[in-house]
Amino acid sequence: MTFNHFLDHLDDVEILVSVYFSAGMKFNKESLKQVAHVVADVELDSHIIDVVFTIFDDNGDELLSNREFISVLKERAHRGLEKPADTGFVRLVMAIGECFLSYVKGEDL
């Protein structure tokens, strides 16, 4: 849950990560932990940070670049993956309800 809260602040995370890069600092695991605390007021567990680095550290240097991390997460947001997928279940239930009401009223379908 804490990582999701962290992702809710992705724009702020991007700004702070940009500051790291502008200052010539490396964005490592400790940096991620610090950014999560400052921006989202969450304490990311070390295993969550390890998973993030395993997924996003393309070149295995134990550092995240903007391309490896922020751009991928922003791309995810632009694709709408933060919204639940429409499975059509609600439309199915509504259609069944309409059919049932028509049946009760004695209307032909």
Residue-wise over 16-40: b if at least 16 C-beta within 10 A, else e?
bbeebeeeeeebbbebbbebbeebb
Under DSSP, is residue 89 helix (H, G, I), strand (E, B) or coil? helix
What are 29-62's pLDDT values in tens digits? 999 999 999 999 999 999 999 998 888 888 889 9
Residue-level pLDDT at 82: 52
pTM: 0.64
Tokens found for residue 12: 């702020």
User: How far is the C-alpha of 6 from the C-alpha of 41, rounded, in Å?
Assistant: 8
Tokens found for residue 51: 């998973």
